Structure 1
Amino acid sequence: MNTFIKKLKYTPLLAVLLVTGCTKNFEKINTDPDALNNVPPQNMLVNVMRNAGDQFGGDVDGYGTFAGYIVKIQYPDNLSGLIPTNNTYGNRWAACYYNITQMKDMLKKTDATAEGYKNTRAIARIWNNYMWSYLLDGWGDIPYSEAFKGRPDDGSVLKAKYDKQEDIFPAVLADLKSIADELAAGIGTDETLEYDIIYGPKNSGQDNVKLQMLKWQKFCNSLRLRMAMRISSVAPALAKSTIEEIAGNKTKYPIIETNAENCQMVYPGTLPYMEPWYKSGINGNRINNWGMFDIFIDHLNETKDPRIASIAQKNNAGKYVGFVNGSLTNPSPSTSISWIGLHYINNPAGAVPFYRACESYYTLAEAALSGYNVGISAKDAYEKAVALSMEDNDVAASDVATYLAGAGKFDGTKDRIYWDMWVALFKENFEAWSLYRRTGIPSTNYPSKIQNSATPHTDQPWRLPYPNNEYLYNTDNVTAAAAGTVDYNWGKRLWWAKDNGKK
């Protein structure tokens, strides 16, 4: 824990802007004599991971509301924040590009000694592709091919064009496959130890390095599964070949299959490094700002889903009760509705999940129903996914069996997979929002009933607003990319999203 904190205190030194000087003394004048001139690669790695955890892990009522999980109860949401700004969603755009920039810089600095930093470089490349997947799922068309060509030696492209999602997805999947093949051929000897705050071992030794890199290898292939299934309705051949390649050779392309392998960031548990939901909700005394979305609690009650005890708290009458998204009045008292479950919000040393094992099996279940050859039946994959999710929520085996024999029983439909996956993705709110946009599940989802937008909308946002900096400094390109959008977040769906008839 202390090592983790000591490393993080140096991360502000890494946020360096590379600019061209306007005088011959510019560089000398603007150089901090106390700053590190050459940051070690491992320090750069821990910086981007911490940044991602802070930016993406603290979301509660943004993506959590879009996904149908959580609503604001103290300050009802009127959707007024869904405009181009450099806060909230703009910050997350910036975080993605910042993290990719940092990792590209690190890769460039270690080109000459690539073999000595083989593992560190592999982790950096995987993380970059995770950032690209986040940008693609949030905004769709984005700067990609020209995104990092601003320096004179890179081409002096200061206003990067926006590439199409349908062109970027195959490129990212191809790079992930390249990394997966390289890892399958052998790993390096360099140790990142606790600088890798996701999978890094505390103790040195090549056996620990092997276990660490195996987990990164599994995340790499699991991310391929996620992205391939995301585009399965619009690029079926690529989706099928990718998923079948992975499922057909798990020795070469292992995936995340146990909760011990989940890709997540676990926090030390002391200020300022507390799990974000705890830090805001419990330590920041804001837990009564949020209530559970009525559609979510209704579904959990109707299906007698035992995960409800982890996901939500009972109200003051001992019942699980959800609340309206965008109610004109607050619940009185606030304890008359269910709040976020203590399992998810009451652990300062909790985790921010990026990918859980159950997702692998929900994906394989859907793939099997689609006719892909994945080496497991849809029923077996679905039941494995449910069991993993239940385990992650501390549900007893007997309760799992009861659920699978009742409302959770596999009925041979994709909707059954989607509904259960929706429950299982709680706290992976961004991914759950993507599931909704791709599948239309939960079909009961709806936007805030009070809206501050030019057009009344009957659906949750379809995309995120491009940040204001793009409109200020890359006007023509962002305007072209945003053509067809309505109120910045609706109108034109993302390439892979389903038209569910809502607007």
Structure 2
Amino acid sequence: MKLSNKKYLVFLVVLTSFFSCKDLTELNENPNGVDSDRVNPNLILPTVLTETGKAYVNLGYGDIAGVVQHTQKDAWSSGHNDYDWSSQSWGGYYNILRNNDLLYQRAVETNFEFHQGVSLVMRAFLFGLITDLWGDAPYTFALKGEIGGAENITPAFDNQETIYNGVLADLEKANALLSKPKGEYQGIVDNVDVYFKGDPKGWQKFANSLALRYYLRISAKMPDVAKSGISKILGDATKYPIITKNTEDAVMSFPGTSNDTAWPANSDFDASGSSYRRIKMASTLVESLQAKSDPRLGIWANKVQIPLVVDATLPAGTDKIVDGKRLLSPDKVGTEKIDTDPEYVGLPPSFSALPSAYNLNPTPGQTSFNPHASFLNDIYKKATGPLLKARLISAAEVHFILAEAAQKGWITADAKSQYEQGIENSLKTWGVGDKYPTYIAQKGVAYDGTLAQIMEQKWIASWTAATESWFDFRRTGLPALKAGPAAKRSVLPVRFYYTQDELNLNESNTMAALEKLEVTNYSQADNKNSAWSKPWLIQGTGKPW
């Protein structure tokens, strides 16, 4: 990761193609926005927000959804299903951070306090995500172009404890900067803020809700800090407002005017539809939802086009389509594992090197079209839509955080009420809020006082934003997800690899970070740079395995 003193400003393309903000050029003396020491902060802000939103949904709707068994792929599947990962680059995140650093510098120079606060929230979000994914990482020296007059191309890595403390300090500072009424700020242009439309209160709630996430994240390693931090925020709602309703979620919509501005894996800009077609809901999630008659299942998945029916009364050799069903005699199935559910069928996690063959699919292979497994809902074919949003943090997640904190006895809030509000807000998010009274009354959904139940509902609610569920799983081991037989290891991974480029270009610092990883029984032999080597955050916790 080369961290030079050049400013990489990519915001012009995003500004013209992602959102129409015709009045911005009037705010800046240089209408082209290429002069970094004079650029208006409003020209940088859209790039920081949109690129972060896209990066986050690409994780939570991509391979991390495979890790936590929200989805599986039936073609080009080894990375998604089996954790067959090579090096994962953090370069894109640091590119956003460089733009964000310029946003902050220009906001300070122009005395735009709103933009300063927003920049600090995004800095915390991105650096927090980087250390969550990789472990130790460049932080203190990451965005410094030169040190002592020399170009900074080999920054030292900070340990996770330092980064998490920095994240929380940035969020505290952001909370103070964002605490004034909107009219007291300079430079706010509503339509360049694609999350909250220029609302300082929305950003303040985002900052404090993100702080709750990170206090809980570090709770196993720094329990006193976590407890006092959560208590501080909950103890003063005026000073520390948080997201409590789904209408306050930190989300980004997709205009869908080009593939770059569209929901990922859509069919509108993929004529073959293969990216959409490869993604199936995992049986782990399908079965959890079915057991609870969860109304979100029909919002997220289509019913199988042709259910399988195995009938022992049929003559041997029977395999035919009748009235939209595929009728089979037992000898045509043999010992093969199949799913005859007449409505929803998910792919088992990492069950085979050829997942496209599942459930007697007549068209196995990379161009599979399996009529016996549930495709995702047709809304996910589209480039844009009211439910297609990058969700950075939600009211549902906040309430589940508070339910866990209350269950631990850290706050005086009622764990049952917080748990129920988490579910209700998730149902409202997906347009089935009217089903809440019936849903919450069911056995298995009605609050039973266990952490396992809170974590399962939090896992369900993180659909399309599964990254947080992976981090929760590492911290708690819940839900008790099991790797499939074709997975690269018999347990779920816990981190991303450092890239080979990082090892080549910044060897001494990367090797120092690797030495601090804990080799486990699942790490590759004599190789600490493994997705199964534990970073500081979970060392000594006994979690998740």
Deviation at 1:35, TM superposition (A): 7.7
**1:328 has 2:386 as partner:** no
Deviation at 1:357, TM superposition (A): 0.9
* Cα deviation code 1:6-36 (max 9, x no counterpart): 724499xxxxxxxxxxxxxxxxxxxxxx882
Which of 463, 472, 479 aligns to 2:504? It is: 472
| 1:112–1:399 CA distance, 2 compared to 1 (3 A) | closer
Q: Give the letter for the 1:499 counterpart.
A: G
| 1:458–1:422 CA distance, 2 compared to 1 (3 A) | same
Instruction: Indicate the residue corresponding to 1:499 in structure 2.
Output: 542
Give distance in 1, aligned partners of 2:200 and 2:132.
26
Give distance in 1, aligned partners of 2:303 and 2:131.
37
Map 1:69-468 onto structure 2 (within 5 A): 69-77=70-78, 79=82, 81-84=84-87, 89-90=88-89, 93-114=90-111, 117-152=112-147, 156-184=151-179, 188-200=185-197, 209=198, 212-277=199-264, 279=266, 283=270, 285=273, 286-316=275-305, 317=307, 318-326=342-350, 327-329=352-354, 330=356, 331=358, 332-333=361-362, 334-343=370-379, 346=382, 348-349=384-385, 350-374=388-412, 376-446=413-483, 449-451=486-488, 457-468=489-500
Give distance in 1, aligned partners of 2:296 and 2:500.
40
Q: Give the letter for the 2:345 counterpart.
A: V
Number of aligned residues: 454
Deviation at 1:135, TM superposition (A): 0.6
Deviation at 1:184, TM superposition (A): 2.6
| 1:396–1:168 CA distance, 2 compared to 1 (3 A) | closer
Per residue, is there more helix in 1 or in 2? 1
Q: Whose Rg is larger?
A: 2
C-alpha contact (below 8 Å) 2:75/2:278 kept by paired residues: yes
Give the CA RMSD over aligned residues.
2.6
Instruction: Indicate the residue corresponding to 1:22 in structure 2.
Output: none
Give distance in 1, aligned partners of 2:394 and 2:468.
11
| 1:501–1:148 CA distance, 2 compared to 1 (3 A) | closer
Q: Tell which deviates more after alignment, 268-277 or 95-104.
A: 268-277
Instruction: Indicate the residue corresponding to 1:29 in structure 2.
Output: none
**1:56 has 2:56 as partner:** yes
Q: Give the letter for the 1:231 counterpart.
A: I
Deviation at 1:183, TM superposition (A): 2.3
Give distance in 2, aligned partners of 1:80 and 1:495.
21
| 1:83–1:122 CA distance, 2 compared to 1 (3 A) | same
C-alpha contact (below 8 Å) 1:307/1:393 kept by paired residues: yes
Give distance in 2, aligned partners of 1:80 and 1:372.
36
SS of match in other structure, 2:251: strand
Percent identical: 25
C-alpha contact (below 8 Å) 2:124/2:171 kept by paired residues: yes
Give distance in 1, aligned partners of 2:55 and 2:512.
27
Give distance in 1, aligned partners of 2:109 and 2:433.
53
Q: Unpaired segments of 5 or more residues in structure 2?
A: 1-11, 20-31, 308-341, 363-369
Give distance in 1, aligned partners of 2:239 and 2:166.
21
Deviation at 1:393, TM superposition (A): 1.8
Q: Give the letter for the 2:535 counterpart.
A: L
Q: Give the letter for the 1:193 counterpart.
A: D
Q: Give the letter for the 1:411 counterpart.
A: D
Deviation at 1:313, TM superposition (A): 1.9
| 1:293–1:198 CA distance, 2 compared to 1 (3 A) | same
Give TM-score, length-normalised by structure 2. 0.77
Q: Give the letter for the 1:45 counterpart.
A: L
Deviation at 1:61, TM superposition (A): 3.7
